[in-house]
Amino acid sequence: MQWMFPTLIQLVPAAVWGLGLLVCEESPRWLLYVGRRTQAVSVLAKLRHLPSSHPTVVAEIAVMEFQILQEREAASGTSQWHLIKETVVPVENRRRFCLVMLAHLFSQWSGGNAITQYLPTILGYLGTTGDALSLTTALYAVVKFTALLIFSLVVVDFVGRRRSLMAGITLQIVTLAYLACYLGISRQMSTTTILHAASATHASRAAIAAIFVHGVGWVIGWFSMPFLIGSEIFPIRIRSLALSMGMAGHWLFAFGCTRATPDLLDVMEEWGAFAFFAGICLVSLVYVFFAMPVSELTPWVTVEGSERQTTGETDSTQDTTGRSLEALDGLFRRPWYTVYQVAYAKKEDEEIEVQAIQERGKSELAMVEEA
C-alpha cells in the first residue's frame, strides 16, 4: 500500500483535467487537421475575442494550414514501422532518441520524484513529526512550485538548458550525499542524543534544508529538461512518434521508481537509497557533460546578427528557437562522447543560424500569402 497510494494520487489531477475537457473548446489546429475548417475559424475567433474575418484570425489559420501541409508531406507514404526504423537506425536520430530516453530515465531515478512522494516518511527519519511534519511537507511543495515558476519564466532561456541542467544535477549530488552521510551516522545515535546534542540538532535541520535545496535542484534540472530537449531536437517527420515513445518510457520509469523506493529505503538502511540516487545523478552529470549539446541560441543574438545586453527584455527581433535541424544532424553524427567539444555554438555559427531562421521564416510567410 505504501507505493500504491503515491501512484494512485497522481490520478487526481488527471481526473480534473479529464472533466475539464468537457467544457474546453477543441483545438483549432486539430479541427483543421480533420477538415473542419469553419469550426476551427469559429473557435479561434472565440479564443482571440475577435471576429472571424479579423486579419489576425485569418493569418493564424493560414499559418496553421501551411504547417499541417508541411507535416503531412513530411510523413506521407510512410508506415509506423518505417518511422520506427527511421527513429532508431540512422545514427543521428538514434542518438537523439537515446538522449531523450536517458533524460527521462535520469529524471525519474535521480531521487526527485521519490523524495516528493515519500517525503513524510523521509522527514520522519530526520525526526520531524506531528504538525511540523505537515507544515514542512506543505512548505516543500510551495518552494518547488515557486522555483519552477521562476525557472520556467525567467531563467531557462537566458542561462540555457545545458547550464541549468548541470547546475541542478550538481545541487542534487551535494544534497543527496549530505543526506546519505547524515542518515548513515545518525542511525547509530539514539533519539535522545539527537534531541539533546546541539551539533546533532543542527545537522538534522541542515538535512531538512538539504531536501528543500534538492527539490530546487531537481526543478531546474531533470524535472522539465526531458520535455524541453525532446521538443527541440527531433525532425518533424519522426517527432510525434519519438516523443510518444519518450513519454511511455517516462511513465514506465516513474512507476518503477515509485514501486522500488520503499524497498530501497528498507533494504539499504535508509542512507543507502540516497547514496544510490546520488550515484545516478553523478552518472547523469558525466553523460550530460559529454553528450548533451545546446539546442537553443543565446538570447542576446538577434535576427540581424547583432549583440544586445542581457537585460531580461524581449522584442520581436529576438530569436531563441535554436540550432537548425540540419546543424543538429551533423552534431549527432559525432561520437556521443565528443559532443561536448561543440556543445556551445560559436558566435559566428549562431549568427549564421539566425540568418537561416530569418530566411526560412520569410519563405514560409511568402508561401502563406500566395496561398
pLDDT tens for each residue of 239-261: 888 999 999 999 999 999 988 99
Q: How many CB atoms lie within 10 A of CB 116?
A: 19
DSSP 8-class letter at 49: T
CB contact set of 184 (below 8 Å; sequence gap of 6+): 269, 271
Joined grid coordinates for residue 264 = 530501497
CA distance 81 to 94: 15
CA distance 152 to 356: 27
pLDDT band for 287, please (50, 70, 90 cuts). Answer: very high
The string of pLDDT tens digits covering residues 149-159 is 888 777 777 77
Residues making up the chain, counted from first to last: 371
CA distance 367 to 365: 5
- pLDDT for res 101: 94
CB contact set of 261 (below 8 Å; sequence gap of 6+): 3, 114, 117, 118, 273
- pLDDT for res 198: 74
Joined grid coordinates for residue 25 = 473548446
- Whether 368 and 63 have beta carbons less than 8 Å apart is answered as yes
β partners of residue 302: 318
The string of pLDDT tens digits covering residues 109-164 is 998 888 888 888 888 888 777 888 888 888 888 888 888 888 877 777 777 788 88
- pLDDT for res 166: 93
Q: Residue 275 above 80 pLDDT?
A: yes
Average pLDDT, the chain: 79
The position carrying cell 567539444 is 341
The string of pLDDT tens digits covering residues 193-242 is 666 677 777 888 899 999 999 999 999 889 888 888 888 888 877 888 89
Q: Residue 104 above 70 pLDDT?
A: yes
Cα-atom radius of gyration of the chain, to the nearest Å?
A: 24
CA distance 353 to 357: 6
Q: Residue 174 above 90 pLDDT?
A: yes
Q: Residue 354 above 60 pLDDT?
A: no
CA distance 369 to 96: 35
